[in-house]
Amino acid sequence: MTPTRPLPPSVRALCVGWVLAEALACATTPTPQPPAPAPAPVQPEAPSPEATPPTTAPAPAAPAITITGYTPEVATILAERYAWWRSGPTRIALARRGSIRLRPDGPELGLHDQAPFADPPRLRVVDDAERPRIVTDDDDVRLLLYVDRQDARPVVTRAAPLRPSPETSLDGPRRRGHVVLEPGAWVDVEEQRGALTRVSSPTLDGALSGWLDSDALGTTATVAEPPAVGERQTYVAMQPTPLLTRPGGKTLVTLEEHAALVELDPRTESGHRWVEHRPVCEPSYSYVGFVRARDVYQPNYGSLVGCGSGGGRIRRVLGDAEAAPRVILDAGRFLLDADAPIVVGCVLAPTEAADLGDGRHAIATIWGPVPVRLAPATFEGRCGDT
């Protein structure tokens, strides 16, 4: 092995410097780093529980209203164009302002102050029960109300001969002319004696008075159509002619020219005919008596006569509801009892009512205020011409 010769000092110093420079270079050169991982995708931030509106349970639906009382009979009455007292067979006249009700067992409504009516209203009865149910005949509102019989004016319930005195006999072999009060004739009671009652009844020509059977009087009357003439002969007065109690006797009434007569017996008695006369537009009474045969003739033509409804209007009042604010009720709306969902009427034409609050309204009537509620607008039915 060859011995190593030592390097000269200058060379050795050069080598040491080179080594130090390499070490310094290695120390200052950065070490390569692996690439940084890609950033994770940003996820949307979930809303906090407080930001989500709470789920609200739906409000319960209003309970459906079960409306009663709209029977076929009530529907027919409310749908009629007119509901005046002669449009039905049964009628009543009220002498004073008594109690009214929307139900037979309901509370008393109106003023019920017993004030007398100057012109007793005549009304159509739709249910002749213990408390008669009537229908009002106003032009804007039609109501079905219960009234008390004790407030009714006396009325004749069956054909009742009117006697001049309690002792007068209308039976027997000799016929006697007389007045007959027909069903539906309203009377004023003047005196009662045993089974007979003295009454007076107004007519177009004044008042009829006399005695009739007490059991022929009531509070309501059902009126049938006038009896058909049938095979009986009809006559017409040739001129103003007296109708007599007996042939050659007292005048019962003077017949107008062209007055119609119906023969009751084809035989003549002393030149007189036994006939019946029903005044035109006065169905509440008739006359039976004798007329001279030469004063009448047999017509070969008919006649057509129109009659009015009669009676005036009584002012409707609101009583203690007078100060309440007013609202307009639309035509065609049906009316319910304020305390029960029972049909009690309808609105024929836009009308003013008092607003009592809480969905209640007061209708003005001749008896005072009647509280009602409106049926839902979806309630179907016909009200008069609406």
pLDDT in tens, the chain (386 residues): 444 455 455 545 444 444 444 443 444 444 455 555 555 555 555 555 554 554 554 555 556 789 999 999 999 999 999 999 999 999 999 999 999 999 999 999 999 999 999 999 999 999 999 999 999 999 999 999 999 999 999 999 999 999 999 998 887 668 899 999 999 999 999 999 999 999 999 886 678 999 999 999 999 999 987 766 666 789 999 999 999 999 999 999 999 999 999 999 999 999 999 999 999 888 899 999 999 999 999 987 655 455 655 556 799 999 999 999 999 999 999 999 999 999 999 999 999 999 999 999 999 999 999 999 999 999 999 999 77
Residue 163 DSSP one-character state: B
Closest CA to 86 of 278, 200, 221, 279: 221
Residue corresponding to tokens 């209308």: 170
- Name the residue ranges covered by the structural domains of the chain: 72-147+315-374, 155-168+175-222, 234-297
Residue 326's alpha-carbon distances to 221, 338, 346, 347, 350, in angstroms, are 38, 17, 18, 16, 13
Question: What is the per-residue pLDDT for 308?
Answer: 59
Judge whether 91 and 85 are in contact, CB under 8 Å. Answer: yes
Task: Yes or no: say if 363 and 109 are a contact pair by the CB < 8 Å rule.
Answer: no
Residue 161: strand pairing partners: 180
Per CATH, the number for 155-168+175-222 is: 2.30.30
CB 315 within 8 A of CB 280: no
Q: What DSSP string runs through 75-120?
A: HHHHHSS---GGGSSEEEEBSEE--EESSTTS--BS----EEPSSP
d(CA 127, CA 129): 6
Task: Compute the half-sphere exposure of residue 312: CA atoms within 13 Å on the CB side of its CA.
Answer: 5
155-168+175-222 and 234-297 in the same fold? yes
Pairing between strand 351-357 and 343-347? unpaired
CB 171 within 8 A of CB 126: no
Contact criterion met (CB below 8 Å) for 145 and 77: no
Contacts for 173 with CB less than 8 Å, ≥ 6 apart: none
Alpha helices in the chain (DSSP H): 9-28, 72-79
Q: Which residues contact 180 (CB under 8 A, 6 or more apart)?
A: 159, 160, 161, 162, 285, 286, 287, 288
Q: What is the CATH number of domain 234-297?
A: 2.30.30
> Given its phi and psi angles, is residue 69 left (phi above 0), alpha (psi -120 to 50 degrees) or beta?
left
Q: CA–CA distance from 45 to each of 12, 48, 227 (Å)?
A: 69, 9, 97
